[in-house]
Amino acid sequence: MNEPEIRHVSVRDVLFGARVRIVEPCNLYGCEIGDDCFIGPFTEVQKAVRIGARTRVQSHAFVCELVTIGEDCFIGHGVMFVNDTFSIGGPARGRKELWRPTKIGNRVSIGSGAAILPVKICDDVVVGAGAVVTKDIAVPGSYAGNPARLLTRR
């Protein structure tokens, strides 16, 4: 019987700001977490991710490589960020040159269970629970649905 390769990650190689709170278990590695942030349990934040000051990332969120999140944001429970668009008809399978970045502005709230594809979201946006953001959001306001659409301007 073969034994699996087990990788214990937990928290390593993270640049923390002041007064950051983390609830374990979580996997944070090679990322940057700003001042006064909160990271909930069962969360993964991958390498080269930057999370701005005073941002809350709730439990069960997945923040993949190439994601930047601004200041004063709220990332709800179970939010999933995606960096592989399956541009070749399937997964990139380690071909990181096929991945695309995501940039979240300041004062953005993303509801529980939302999926965020590689996009840019401007400041002052609310993304509803369960929404799927497939295109850039350049107008402040509230968005919901699959695909996410503007409901109200701010």
Domains of the chain, earliest start first: 11-153 (2.160.10.10)
For the full predicted model, state whether its pTM sits above 0.75.
yes
**Amino acid 92: pLDDT:** 87
Q: What tens digit of pLDDT does each residue of 13-50 get?
A: 999 999 999 999 999 999 999 999 999 999 999 999 99
Residues 6+ away with beta carbon under 8 Å from 135:
119, 147, 148
Percent over 90 (pLDDT), the chain = 84
Residues 137, 38, 136: CA angle, nearest 5 degrees: 10
Q: Say whether pLDDT at 7 is over 80.
A: no
Locate 5 and state its tokens.
């390769």
